Chain A
Amino acid sequence: MTSGQADTRAGLMRSTPLRSAPLRRAGRPWTATLLRGLLFLILGLFVLYFTLPLFVMIVTSLKSLEEIRQGSLLGLPQEIELTSWATAWGSACIGVSCHGLRPYFWNSILLVVPAVVISTAIGAINGYALSKWRFPGSDVIFGLMLFGCFVPFQVILLPMAITLGKIGMAGSVSGLILVHVVYGIGFTTLFFRNYYVAVPDELVKAAKIDGAGFLAIFTQIFLPLSIPVMVVTVIWQFTNIWNDFLFGVSFSQGGSQPITVALNNIVNSTTGVKEYNVDMAAAIIAALPTLLVYVVAGKYFIRGLTAGSVKG
């Protein structure tokens, strides 16, 4: 794609996906029909592969515990029961409070929204500086940030705990936000940098001649161009932070725990009685926001990636 950089401006603006579907032009009509059939067969098989786990979860959440104990896990429910959904949302006991997932939902929102906004903003400005205002060592800095993505969180958990204690942010939501922002820098910077690399340098040069400075060019030229990559980054960060368990359980205090911790408490008890239908309903409820983001913003996601963030 290196050679294609000049025409990416056009790519940025193009909202409808390209055109020619090369396989379609292949050979004689009957081969085409055959290929088309094969195509749908493969796509269909994969649809099955991708939906099976979700199917199991939904079906189980609708069964009564009695039916789960006796019957096949994959069978359809004999009669549909919605009680486990109500229980999971509003009255399942997590420790001693029996209010279901509801209170934790709000905890997660309070945590995820600021963390996503801040880390996206940081990624944008970093990506801009590291792609269009390169300075000696900027590539090294980028490389170092990127390598940070590869460190497993279990490794940094304890030094992070010590640090949070030292700076007085232990057990606070702001401390947890800080953690997510810091470990989001690598990927958000990567997304924005790769996106901005594809924006022609001439644009920056022209603006400079007009007397615009670093910040002016960023806010007036780059930010308006950035909607697609922002969608990508927000989806990525939102999913990762919403689904995080390890940091959430370690750096939060009783009462401010995120939803994954509550879900884990419902699903993962070791010596307690298991209610699989409630477990499954709870799991789906906890996943609804991220599912929703993917379903609603999925279209823009591909578009955002198309517009340049996958360029090297």
Chain B
Amino acid sequence: MRNMSLTAIAVIVGVSFATAAKAEPQVEVLHWWTSGGEARAIQVLVDDFKAAGGTWTDMPVAGGGGDAARTALKARVLSGNPPTAFQMKGPSIQEWYEEGALSTGIDAIAKEQNWDAVLPAQIADHMKCEGKYCAAPVNVHRIDWFWANPAVLAKAGVAMPTTWDQFNAAADKLQAMGITPLAHGGQSWQDATVFEAVALGIGGNDFYRKAFVDLDMDALGGATMVKVFDQMRKLRGYVDPNFSGRDWNLATAMVMNGEAAFQIMGDWAKGEFTAAGKVPGKDYLCAPTPGSGYLYNVDSFAMFDVKGDDKVTGQNLLAKLILDKKFQKVFNLAKGSIPARIDVDLGEFDYCARRSAYDMNVASSNGGLLPSFAHGMAMRNAQAGAITDVVTRHFNSDLSSADAARLLAEAVQNSL
């Protein structure tokens, strides 16, 4: 019996050596794109990967905007069994690198394909660990969007606002007509999404950078932040009473069927409109929220430090395919975002996507290209979470703006 199992082990070891020698590319990818357009988008990558002779093991874990996936990731890493690649973004990438979990093995491919030249510098920086590429970007989502119902706007005689004062005036008008001005889902990440758009519009690009990138205490607890919270309080008056806990897509539906006029949400909201057969420009409008900035969320795949030639080859192939022009186009057409590469032809993309690409270009030259804090691009999750706690508490209680700003600075300090 004992001999039997030893033989068995020998066979297995032999087999695994054999595969190692051939090193067929192999990846196990942990991600949370599980439904509709998201799943179709990732399917594109899988097909490419298989066509190139690789084996793709899918490990999808949805829930809580990646919370459940991060839980699984942590357990996998601690048990010495990390996935080959994980859907990860923003400063988390560098945080995991510092813990020694990531690999910079794809840097050679990145050099070869000259990623530095085809990615906006700021996005490229997010992908680098100590100057070397450790992650590959798939897309750019813009966060600071208004989604609006043109029929409702026309009926109320209001135009797309370009300042928050204009928005407030329009909202008052809409409210008087019995239309909910702002469709909103009261979940903390949605509160934070609205909050960062407001902060960008009221404080401007420099303020946003100081507060949410540099975590400057004066900016976080200062007079401008008080104004930002004042506007949040105003918005609280513009949402319908039943907003608590609502899923974002139900808020989108409110805009779609004319119950509400505006929604502030990232451009995945487009997927919901598209699924209902609506056309941008005609059935719904997209426009940036007030300000001259551009808040981005770049989804990417980080490469984990894994053993085995087949997996390392797999990571290289994956990185190469992700940055492929055709993939970037097809993937983002399905996902509603725009390519991370700046040299992809946008002819087939819709109006909103082209607008997004144009604005990104402008913003990246004037310092307005800014990372979204609500979507984990600006700071580590510890600080982002601390800020979100204060924002959602303020929005859901009668906390004064001054107290909220003070608590905000305190919470960030406490989380460091």
Contacts and interface: CB of A to CB of B under 8 A. Distances in A.
Contacts of A94: 34, 39, 60
B39 A93 contact: yes
Interface string A135-160: 00000000000000000000001101
Size category, B interface: 35 or more
Interface in A242-260: 246, 249-251, 253-255, 257
Nearest to A68: B253
B62 A264 contact: yes
Nearest to B78: A161
B266 interface: yes
A171 B76 contact: yes
A274 interface: yes
Interface in A224-274: 246, 249-251, 253-255, 257, 261, 264-274
Contact of A254 (B58, B75, B80, B272): B58
A274 B57 contact: no
Contact of B31 (A95, A164, A250): A95
Contacts of B43: 93, 96
B243 interface: no
A228 to B, nearest CB: 38
A251 B64 CA distance: 19
A93 to B, nearest CB: 5
Contacts of A157: 71, 75
Interface string B23-47: 0000011111111111110110010
B36 A170 contact: no
Nearest to A255: B57
B119 interface: no
Contact of A161 (B59, B79, B83): B79
Contacts of A90: none
B79 A170 contact: yes
Contacts of B60: 94-96, 265
B81 A95 contact: no
Given A254-B58, A264-B68, A273-B249, A161 B36 contact: no
Nearest to B268: A271
B264 interface: no
Contact of A69 (B29, B62, B63, B276): B276
Contacts of A249: 61, 68, 71-72
Contacts of A164: 79
Given A251-B75, A254-B59, A269 B34 contact: yes
A271 B68 CA distance: 14
Given A95-B39, A255-B57, A272-B35, A162 B79 contact: yes
A257 B19 CA distance: 25
B400 interface: no
A254 B276 contact: no
Given A94-B34, A95-B33, A165-B80, 8 more contacts: A70-B257, A161-B78, A171-B81, A250-B72, A269-B62, A270-B64, A270-B66, A272-B271
Interface of A: 69-70, 93-97, 157-158, 160-162, 164-165, 170-171, 246, 249-251, 253-255, 257, 261, 264-275
10 contacts: A93-B34, A95-B31, A96-B42, A157-B75, A165-B81, A265-B60, A268-B34, A268-B68, A270-B62, A272-B34
Q: Which 10 A-B pairs have the closest CB atoms?
A: A95-B60, A272-B35, A165-B79, A254-B59, A170-B79, A250-B75, A273-B36, A269-B35, A165-B80, A268-B63
